[in-house]
Amino acid sequence: MARSMRIFGLLYEVGAKRSVPALTVLHPRPVSTTPGLRSLTRYDKTGHTTDWKKKLTPEQYFVTREKGTEEPFSGIYLNHYEKGMYHCVCCDTPLFSSEAKYDSGAGWPSFREAHGTWEQDESHANILRRPDNSLGSTGTEVICKQCDAHLGHVFDDGPEPTGQWFCINSASLHFRPRAKNPDAKND
């Protein structure tokens, strides 16, 4: 028997027999308010289109292209503390540094700021903020600036010094560890 639960104001149905996506949205959210973001394909810098369903796993596609949300406490990067950079799973653009990651206790990877942010100026960051009023409550969606992938949401109740809480789906990320110093001597 299925049960309903509310996460960040979104109503989901969770059933015993699940296949990816693990959560089924009872009230689908509009994919976009602009025609350019509604496309299931996206032109890259070389002019080629990307077939996201072929490139991504079903869960990655659900989260990044259909603006889904993975189950809380289920993502592979929730308790991941290796030093390095979190990249967009769709286009490999660097998005968040491990140095900005913290444990919010909410069940998703959380970051204080996006990579490329300088004193809260995100003009050089690879993320964009979009208003999200799809279910009657005001929120701010975070998307990749390069490929429009849905990453998660940002809230204004994060830790100092930024006060920002980027709540990001693990399924939208790919981690690259920090390169070891090739000039360092092994003692």
pLDDT of residue 118: 82
Res 181: pLDDT: 65
Q: What mean pLDDT comes out for the span 133-160? A: 90
Q: CB 121: neighbour CB atoms within 10 A? A: 9
Question: Please, which pLDDT band fits residue 117 given cuts at 50, 70 and 90?
Answer: confident
Q: What would the pLDDT profile of 171-185 be if each residue is shown by its tens digit?
A: 999 999 998 765 655
Q: What is the pLDDT of residues 76-105, one digit of tens each?
A: 999 999 999 999 999 999 999 999 999 999
pLDDT at 48: 55
Per residue in 2-56, pLDDT (tens digit) is: 444 444 444 444 443 444 444 444 334 444 444 444 444 444 554 456 799 999 9
Contacts of residue 169, defined as CB under 8 A and 6 or more positions apart, other chains included, come to 63, 68, 69, 70, 75, 108, 109, 150, 151, 152
User: What is the C-alpha separation between 105 and 79, in angstroms, rounded?
Assistant: 10
d(CA 33, CA 148): 12
Q: Quote the tokens at residue 40.
A: 């299931």
β-pairing, 101-102 vs 94-97, is: unpaired
Distance of CA 103 to the CA centre of its chain: 16
Query: In this predicted structure, which of 21-25, 123-127, 156-160, 177-181 has the lowest mean pLDDT?
Result: 21-25
Is 144 an annotated catalytic residue? no
Look at residue 125 and tell me whether its pLDDT is greater than 70: yes
CA quadruple 166, 167, 168, 170: dihedral sign: positive
DSSP codes of every residue in 70-95 = PPTT--TTTT---SEEEEETTT--EE
- Nearest 5°: the CA angle 52, 54, 59 is 70
- Residue of 88, 90, 91, 167 with catalytic role: 167
- State the pLDDT at residue 23: 45
Delineate the domains of the chain, giving CATH numbers in brackets: 3-29+50-177 (2.170.150.20)
Q: Which pLDDT band, with edges at 50, 70 and 90, does 1 fall under?
A: very low
